[in-house]
Amino acid sequence: MAKYSAVLDDVFVALADPTRRGVVRRLGEGPATVGELARAYPMALPSFMKHVRTLESAGLIRTAKTGRVRTCVLDRERLAVVEDWLAEQRHVWEQRTDRLEQFIGEEDS
């Protein structure tokens, strides 16, 4: 466990930008083309495409080109690594609480 550091890096980095979180959110509603997605942001297309590529290489989205249009889809599986990390974090915390309780128990006896 915790061996997915590289994946976690990529996913957290990808989510650490409001534009990219916006895209993830939008794609949660369903697939969209690069053009449709880009329209929501005040930046040049090449700049926007970098965000798309970042999301794609983080595995958060998949894209495919049909004709001259590239369509993007959310890959919800990948978001699970964040959930997993949070779960692990909770687990660490709970073990700590257990130790504290045990400590108090020992004090009692």
Partner DNA sequence: TCAATACTTAGCCTCGTGGCTAAGTATTCG
Partner DNA sequence: CGAATACTTAGCCACGAGGCTAAGTATTGA
**Shortest separation between residue 92's beta carbon and DNA, angstroms:** 22
Q: Is 9 in the site for a copy of itself (CB under 8 A)?
A: yes
Q: Which of 3, 5, 30, 42 binds DNA (CB under 7 A)?
A: 42
Q: Which of residues 79-108 bind DNA (CB under 7 A)?
A: none
Q: Is 45 in the site for DNA (CB under 7 A)?
A: yes
55 is written with which tokens?
């999301």
Residue 71 burial (C-beta neighbours within 10 Å; 0-12, 13-18, 19+) = middle
The beta-strand segments (E) located in the chain are 32-33, 61-66, 69-74
Q: How far apart are CA 83 and CA 98, in angstroms?
A: 22
Binding site for DNA (CB under 7 A): 13, 16-17, 19, 33-36, 42-47, 49-51, 54, 65-70
